Structure 1
C-alpha cells in the first residue's frame, strides 16, 4: 500500500544523493511537493498518482541540481516558473535591500504595489518581480510614467506582450497576500526610495518607482524596456524633469 511520507522521504534521499543536500532547499521542495499532492487529492486523484505527477512537475534530480546551481546568474528569470518561486522564497529570507516603509509611498505608489501583486498571479507567478512592478505602473492612474513612455513610442500593450514573451505565463491562480518580492524588485524599490530622498521628496511616487526600475536595469523590467527601445538616460531625465515640477 502506498505511503506518502515514506515516498517523500525516499524522494528526498534521491535528491540528496543527486547533489541537492541543503536542508533548506530540500524543505522548500518538499513543501511544494506536498502542496501539489494535496491539491490533486482534493480533486479526486489518488495519493500515489498525485505524488508521481507532482515529482514530475518539480523535475528530475539532475535537472533540479543544474537549475539551483544557476542562482545568482544574470539570466535566472529563464528558470521554470515553479523553480523561480522556490528560489525566491529561499533567497528572500536574507535580503540585502530592506523593503521601504509602506507609509513612505504616495497613494498612487501604493496602488502600483497592489497592482503588481495582482499581476503576478495573473501571469501564473508566485513572486513579484520587476516585471510585475512595471505592469503595475502601466495600470496605475498616475500619468507621469505613461506620458514619458508614450513619448518614447511605447504603450501598455507593447510592454505587456514583451513581458509575457520574456518570462512566460503559467496557470492563473489566486493572489496571495504573502507573495514575496524578488531580490531585484526589492533593489528597485530601495533605489526608488533613494531617488526620492535625493530629490528631497517626502514620499515615494510612481515616478520614483520607475526611476528605481531604470537604475536597477538588470531585472526583467530593464531588459523589456531596452528591448522596446527605451533609452535609459533620456527617459530618466524626462522623469526627473516631471518630478521636479511636481
Structure 2
C-alpha cells in the first residue's frame, strides 16, 4: 500500500513516528497521524485544518494533555550530575551525531545476535485502520495515489481515535471538514 503514497503522505507517516518518539510514546496512534499531517503546513490537509483553527502546536499540546509524556529519568540525571556529568549536554552531543531521539530508542538484536539501532514503534489498530481507510478514500475519489488529504479523510472516517477527538475538541465541524477535504483532493487527482 505504501508504494501508492505520495511523498507528502509518506512524510505524514514518518512525522507521526517522529512525534511519537519526541513525546516518548510507545505507539503511533491516530493522534500522531494528525500531528504528522499538521507538521507539514504547506500541504492541502494541514492548510485546511489550520483554516478551521487547529495547528501543530495546539494539537501537540492536546495530545500531551491526554496522554502525557514518558519521563526521561530524572533520578538518573541527578545521579550523573552528582558525579559531574551533564546529561543534557551528553544528550545534545549524541543527538547531533546520531539524530533526534537517538538515546530514546531501545537497542534490538538481529538474527545473528548483533545490536541493531533503535526499535520501531508499532501502529495502534486504529492508526492502521486510518491508513487502510485512506486507501479506500483514494479509491472512492478515483485517485491513483494516496495523498495526505486521503489520510485526513481516513482519520475522519475512522471516527473513534484520539486524532478525531482532538479535532472535535478544537471546535472543528467534522462533516464540514470532510466535505471540504474531499473537494480538495478530488480537484487534485492525478
> TM-score band, normalised by the shorter chain?
0.7 to 0.9
1:127 paired residue among 18, 22, 27: 27
Q: Within the alignment, does 1:139 sit opposite 2:81 as a pair?
A: no
SS at match of 1:213: helix
RMSD over equivalenced CA pairs, Å: 1.6
**Aligned counterparts, 1:1-246, within 5 A:** 101-140=1-40, 142-171=42-71, 173-174=104-105, 176=118, 178-246=120-188
C-alpha deviation, 1:177, in angstroms: 5.1
TM-score by length of 2: 0.72
Q: Larger C-alpha radius of gyration, 1 or 2?
A: 1
Counterpart Cα distance in 2 of 1:113 and 1:150: 19
Counterpart Cα distance in 1 of 2:152 and 2:27: 19
C-alpha deviation, 1:150, in angstroms: 2.2
8 A Cα contact 1:144 1:207, kept in partner: yes
Please list the CA deviations of residues 62-104 of structure 1 after superposition, one character each: whole Å capped at 9, or x if unmatched.
xxxxxxxxxxxxxxxxxxxxxxxxxxxxxxxxxxxxxxx2101
C-alpha deviation, 1:156, in angstroms: 2.0
Q: Which residue of 2 aligns with 1:51?
A: none
Give the number of equivalent residue pairs.
Answer: 146
Please list the CA deviations of residues 119-172 of structure 1 after superposition, one character each: whole Å capped at 9, or x if unmatched.
111111121111111111111254211221122122222111111111111136
8 A Cα contact 1:108 1:142, kept in partner: no
Distance of aligned partners of 1:193 and 1:142 in 2 relative to their CA distance in 1, 3 Å threshold: farther
8 A Cα contact 1:123 1:171, kept in partner: no
Counterpart Cα distance in 2 of 1:217 and 1:209: 12
8 A Cα contact 1:131 1:163, kept in partner: yes
Q: Which residue of 2 aligns with 1:54?
A: none
More helix by share: 1
Please list the CA deviations of residues 159-194 of structure 1 after superposition, one character each: whole Å capped at 9, or x if unmatched.
111111111111362384532100000011111110
Counterpart Cα distance in 2 of 1:156 and 1:131: 11
8 A Cα contact 2:39 2:46, kept in partner: no
